[in-house]
């Protein structure tokens, strides 16, 4: 029993399960808005709730597990990541490979039970979210690829409910893309010197800390702009606009923290962005309920 518990803890650390907080809210935001549009109700049904959670978990497990599998040589040379389970032997390469295959197949099976369009998109989605692991080896646009990977969450949400892709879902997704890419830039400042040493491509290693922070601010300005366009195009109420305003305030605070002290990067990355998704979700939910 203790061995099983330890194995689960090691895999939990491997994929950093708690970081699901970044994508889960935006899947369900899209599902709620699509349900209001399609069914005149915020509730999209217990079946889609369960399938949505399973799809999000399996997709993210695959993305993180594949990244850890591909990056185990790089992580072994970075002091910040040297104690990860994929490096120190707690999770073997074979175990990671089996884990990745199981989650990829799980995601495809879940998509099959959602609807036809979800099933057809399942493999392309897996290819996109898996490609992030390669980009840092030849392109500093890896941050944007990571953003695109998480931006697929709202698209998946609207496809699950209405089996279509709407303009407002694309705008919401573009906001998520720039949000994630922007905070990944700040997080990557920690590895700027290591990336240079190992010949990895990242915006911090190519353009320096000052320009990286400027690019991140531009990305987050675009985030708020696209989320505002999402609110307009989805015919949302006042609480969705408040969600956009709350997002703008929290992103500003994130930049204040990092600009003031680089040691605050973890707080800016995990705490602020985690709360942003939760606050955004509950405000959009409240908006949908009172409609």
Instruction: Give the pLDDT confidence of 142-187 residue by residue, as tens digits.
Output: 999 999 999 999 999 999 999 999 999 999 999 999 999 999 999 8
Domains and CATH numbers, the chain: 22-290 (1.10.357.140)
pLDDT digits (tens, 9 = 90+) for 198-232: 888 899 999 998 999 999 999 999 999 999 999 99
- Whole-angstrom distance, CA of residue 135 vs CA of residue 38: 38
Full-model pTM: 0.93
Structure tokens at 135: 């980009």
DSSP letter assigned to residue 163: S
The larger pLDDT score, comparing residue 12 to residue 279, is at 279
23: helix, strand or coil: coil
pLDDT digits (tens, 9 = 90+) for 226-252: 999 999 999 999 999 999 999 999 999
**Sequence-distant (≥ 6) Cβ neighbours of residue 59 within 8 angstroms:** 103, 107, 125, 126, 129, 156
Per DSSP, the residues of 43-111 read ---HHHHHHHHHHHHHHHHHHHHHHHHHTHHHHTT-TTTTTSHHHHSSS-HHHHHHHHHHHHHHHHHHH
Q: What is the model's pLDDT at position 268? A: 63
Q: What is the model's pLDDT at position 201? A: 87
The gap from C-alpha 165 to its chain's centroid, in whole angstroms, comes to 19
């Amino acid at each position: 029993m203790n061995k099983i518990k330890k194995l689960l803890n090691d895999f939990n650390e491997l994929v950093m399960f708690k970081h699901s907080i970044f994508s889960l809210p935006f899947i369900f935001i899209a599902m709620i808005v699509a349900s209001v549009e399609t069914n005149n109700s915020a509730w999209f049904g217990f079946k889609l709730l369960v399938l949505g959670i399973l799809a999000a978990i399996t997709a993210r497990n695959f993305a993180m597990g594949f990244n850890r599998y591909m990056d185990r040589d790089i992580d072994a040379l970075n002091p910040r990541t040297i104690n990860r389970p994929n490096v120190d032997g707690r999770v073997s390469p074979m175990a990671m490979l089996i884990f990745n295959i199981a989650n990829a197949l799980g995601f495809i099976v879940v998509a099959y039970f959602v609807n036809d369009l979800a099933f057809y998109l399942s493999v392309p989605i897996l290819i996109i979210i898996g490609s992030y692991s390669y980009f840092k080896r030849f392109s500093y646009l890896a941050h944007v690829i990571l953003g695109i990977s998480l931006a697929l969450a709202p698209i998946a949400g609207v496809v699950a409910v209405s089996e279509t892709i709407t303009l407002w879902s694309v705008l919401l997704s573009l906001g998520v893309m720039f949000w994630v890419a922007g905070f990944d830039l700040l997080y990557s400042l920690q590895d700027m010197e290591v990336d240079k040493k190992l010949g990895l491509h990242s915006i911090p290693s190519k353009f320096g800390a000052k320009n990286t922070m400027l690019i991140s601010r531009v990305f987050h300005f675009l985030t708020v702009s696209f989320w505002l366009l999402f609110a307009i195009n989805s015919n949302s109420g006042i609480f969705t606009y408040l969600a956009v305003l709350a997002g703008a305030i929290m992103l500003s605070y994130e930049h204040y923290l990092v600009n003031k002290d680089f040691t605050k990067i973890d707080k800016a990355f995990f705490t602020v962005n985690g709360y942003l998704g939760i606050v955004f979700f509950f405000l959009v939910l409240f908006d949908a309920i009172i409609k």
